[in-house]
Amino acid sequence: MSLSKAPLWLPSAAALELMQVRPQTLYASVSRGRIRAKPDPADPRRSLYHRDDVQRIATRARGRRSTEAVASETIRWGEPVMASAVSTVAGGRLLYRGQDACALASYATLEEAAGVLWESESPSFVSATPTVSVPEGMQPLQAGLVALASRAATDPPSRGRSPMVLKAEAADVIGTLADALLGPAPSRSMALHVRLAAAWRRPRAADDLRRALVLMADHELNASTFAARVTASTGASVAASLLTGLSALTGPLHGGASAAVQALVRHAIAVGTEAAVREWLAHDRARAAFGHPLYPAGDVRCSALLEGITLPDTFQELRAIGEKLVGEAVNIDFALAAMAAVHRLPAHAPFTLFALARSVGWTAHVLEQQATGRLIRPRARYTGPAPATVDEKPPRSPHPSRRSASTR
């Protein structure tokens, strides 16, 4: 079977043909999380298996790959790239240190989720440091970046300091971020979801905000978390690590995905839902509202967040038509956009929720990385021009007196 022509989801016969193994081996790979599987829409008694996962296992079975090939693959959607006890997605469930995140979201606050992820008492996200000066009229995201950058320039390095001190500092840094995004806290005892509801003048949204914060607190080694861990591995301050995470989160393929969902909804209102989705697919845009590689049977965070929410007609129609045309269930980005619409929250609310919640997860990974004492320093696979041979003279620099500094 040609991989380029193979469908994304394969029936068991095709998967077994590629892998050249017994059915038991295929099922074992699924149970260990090495191959994603989902029910076959045509026959729910059967399963479909993700083509890329099957191909990866098949390639490995045909012979041991080079270290370079393995490393290149893991940096994308391959095997886990580093050890972590913070969170994982296994069997379609999101687990925070072994606890089901969806179950935790049914009753816990973000502060309590932080206690689980940080293995500590529940912190209070109110900054005790002087308020960082942010220019008046600045948008929340800009204000958050400025506030963290200001602290990153002055806070001490994290290396060599005790976990207890770092946890206290992290709670204070998250308080600084919250002040920048929402304004100064009116009370030190106010939980973050209550503070959000008050800042947005939507008291009835408080419980849904609480649930969303807990569900978004961590999600394995995603792009922003990996960025934060790389920064932490250098010994940089907690604020610097969170600033790196927030910067990565701004990308449209990560924290900006809910904004794409909001744009799709506006387009659906303007031209009709089916026309909007078809146009979206025709332009090969990122599927912000549908599917997630770690949840082939559907994003459990989405289901947990929408549990108590009645979708507006536009969102109901988008869900039905989009799932039919795309072939994937709606995800957490859809749920965040829907919740914001139901409660008439500010347009930036999904990103603000994402940033505040994920700062807790970034901190957990920063603490874990500091405990290893190791620098994260992968190598590049060079694809540039070939170096000059011994007989060739290198091109002469137009500025022979200048010397570039050595870097690591």
pLDDT score for 402: 52
Residue 347 lies in a domain: yes
pLDDT score for 404: 47
Q: Please give the residue range of the domain that contains residue 53.
A: 9-74
Place of tokens 């994920």: 358
* 214 within 8 A of 357, measured Cβ to Cβ: yes
The one-letter code for the residue type at 234 is T
Residue 228 lies in a domain: yes
Long-range contacts of 57-62 (CB under 8 A, 24+ apart): 57/19, 57/29, 58/18, 58/19, 58/20, 61/19, 61/20, 61/21
Q: How many CB atoms lie within 10 A of CB 332?
A: 26
- In terms of domains, do 271 and 325 share one? yes
Instruction: List the alpha helices (DSSP H) in 153-191.
Output: 163-182
- In terms of domains, do 262 and 308 share one? yes
Q: Report the distance separating Cα 213 and Cα 352, nearest Å.
A: 10
Structural domains of the chain, count = 2
Place of tokens 């301050």: 237
The size of the chain, in residues, is: 408
pLDDT score for 194: 96
Q: Which of these is catalytic: 172, 179, 333, 365?
A: 333
- In terms of domains, do 179 and 320 share one? yes
Residue 407 lies in a domain: no
* 268 within 8 A of 276, measured Cβ to Cβ: yes
Residue 403 lies in a domain: no
Cα 122–chain centre separation: 23
- In terms of domains, do 54 and 108 share one? no
Place of tokens 């083509």: 51
| CATH number of the domain residue 198 falls in | 1.10.580
Place of tokens 């976990």: 163
- In terms of domains, do 57 and 153 share one? no
**pTM here?**
0.79
- In terms of domains, do 50 and 132 share one? no
- Report residue 354 as tokens: 């994402």
pLDDT score for 398: 60
- In terms of domains, do 41 and 132 share one? no
- In terms of domains, do 27 and 115 share one? no
Task: Answer yes or no: 292 catalytic.
Answer: yes
Residue 95 lies in a domain: no
Q: How many CB atoms lie within 10 A of CB 158?
A: 25
Task: Answer yes or no: 333 catalytic.
Answer: yes
CA pseudo-torsion sign 159, 163, 165, 170? positive
* 122 within 8 A of 114, measured Cβ to Cβ: yes
Residue 390 lies in a domain: no
- Report residue 33 as tokens: 């999380």
- In terms of domains, do 70 and 113 share one? no
At a CB cut-off of 8 Å and minimum separation 6, what does 338 contact? 306, 309, 311, 312, 315
Instruction: List the alpha helices (DSSP H) in 234-283.
Output: 238-249, 257-271, 273-282
Q: Which of these is catalytic: 218, 292, 299, 365?
A: 292
Full pLDDT tens readout for the chain, 408 residues: 444 456 788 998 888 888 888 887 888 788 777 888 888 888 888 889 888 888 888 877 665 455 555 555 555 555 556 889 999 998 899 999 999 999 999 999 999 999 999 999 999 998 887 767 777 778 999 999 999 999 999 999 999 999 999 999 999 999 999 999 998 877 778 999 999 999 999 999 999 999 999 999 999 999 999 999 999 999 999 999 999 999 999 988 888 888 999 999 999 999 999 999 999 888 876 668 898 888 888 999 999 999 989 999 999 999 999 999 988 899 999 999 999 999 999 999 999 999 999 999 999 999 999 999 999 988 888 889 987 765 666 666 666 555 444 445
pLDDT score for 401: 53
pLDDT score for 406: 46
